[in-house]
Amino acid sequence: MKAGVEPLVNDGFAGEATKRTLGYLQKQREKGKNIVGIYCGYAPLEVIRAMGAAPAVLCAFANKTIEAAEMVLPANLCPLIKSSYGFLKTDTCPFFAISEAVIAETTCDGKKKMFELISDLKPMYVMDLPQLPDEKEALDNWTVMIKKLKGFLETTFNRKIDDKEVEKEIKETNIKNKLMNKIFDFAALTPTPVSWLELYDLTYLGQAATTKDMIALLNACVAKLEQRVADGVYHGEKDSPRVLVTGCPVGGDATKVFKIIEEAGGVVVALDSCTGMKAYSGMISENTSDPYAALSRRYLDLPCSCMTPNNRRLAELDKMIKRFKPDVVIDVVLHACHSYNVESHKIKEHVTNKHQKPFLKIETDYSQSDVEQIRTRVEALLETVPKK
């Protein structure tokens, strides 16, 4: 945001999503709340919250722990997995330290096998994620896994999870998602009054925080954004090329990509990833006869590249392109993430043929060694956008 504009979340942690969220979770822990670590967007947060616990995201985005991880893991593995494992190997992950149990899912091979290496550190439950989301069995099997997770949590924490509480959490999530989407609607404005960093601050905290705690914050953010619009305050320049970023989760050291886009004159108006808007997409069916089946449907609808076919990602991109009106689409693929890398070809065809938008795939990791190379490619991409 331009100098002099009050940060959207003015709590002294603007731009420091991890620190803010860690502080929030530590306070929850001090109040006696249990913390459950998660590694993926498929973790059914509503079941964790229905038990009165708070979820802590354990996926890591820091280069500093990769070297330690590579003493055990292969170097040609996705940096997200290496960084996450490296934090545990060096015993330096504060989120893991306060987690009393861990939920893992069989998404990609690297993560799945990494979980075996850490399974003795904390009570862990590995959920067998169906990967053909359109099959009826997928819905049934994932519902069973969610119910088994409930059993694991009940046994581990010696506490019953009431179905009514799960239903209540479904409704809370829907309220939170609606509010969060109100914020995203501001990003859809031209020019946009909100920066990607501000969106990231909110989406990161929103995974850990309860709806009750988020409602006041999100409503205050909406009021601030309305004021910014009324005052003619916007991010970037009025005619900055608008960028939709899709692909792998991007946080921490990988946010170099966002910084490069903005330094090259673009504005990121949409983040289609698990560290962006994906966690707040879709509504969960309410008042059904089986809230676990309702959760199963919602989570299976998440368009991750570990699913096949992953046509939902194309459908979601259609909606996002219509809503956020990007001038270009950038697909960020982490090194050695084969599923997103292979899928990138389909995304390119879809974006360039159906939507006639310029497209760029960036393969990167958490190091800074490729910053100048990425900058050259992003600048060349943005130069293709006609002046408005």
Which residues of this protein are in contact with ligand SF4, per CB under 6 A? 40-42, 78, 80-81, 107-108, 110-111, 248-249, 274, 302, 304, 306, 334, 337, 339-340
Least Å distance, CB 248 to ligand SF4, is 4
Beta bridge partners of 56: 37
Least Å distance, CB 43 to ligand SF4, is 8
- CB nearer to ligand SF4: pick between 116 and 286: 116
Decide: 272 and 316 in contact? Cβ < 8 Å: yes
Least Å distance, CB 127 to ligand SF4, is 11
Residue 33 buriedness (CB in 10 A; 0-12 / 13-18 / 19+): middle
> DSSP per residue over 259-278, as a string?
HHHHHTT-EEEEEESTTTTG
Least Å distance, CB 199 to ligand SF4, is 17
Q: How far apart are CA 360 and CA 247, in angstroms?
A: 11
Least Å distance, CB 61 to ligand SF4, is 10
- CB nearer to ligand SF4: pick between 254 and 382: 254
The crossing angle, in degrees rounded to 10, of helices 163-187 and 196-208 is 180
Least Å distance, CB 85 to ligand SF4, is 11
- CB nearer to ligand SF4: pick between 9 and 337: 337
The two three-digit tokens of residue 374, written as one number:
């990425």
Instruction: Count Cβ atoms below 10 Å from residue 218 Cβ, excluding itself.
Output: 22
- CB nearer to ligand SF4: pick between 26 and 131: 131
Decide: 333 and 344 in contact? Cβ < 8 Å: yes
- CB nearer to ligand SF4: pick between 81 and 180: 81
> DSSP per residue over 324-341, as a string?
H--SEEEEEEETT-HHHH
The two three-digit tokens of residue 66, written as one number:
């990769």
Least Å distance, CB 129 to ligand SF4, is 9
- CB nearer to ligand SF4: pick between 80 and 188: 80
- CB nearer to ligand SF4: pick between 18 and 107: 107
Decide: 124 and 102 in contact? Cβ < 8 Å: yes
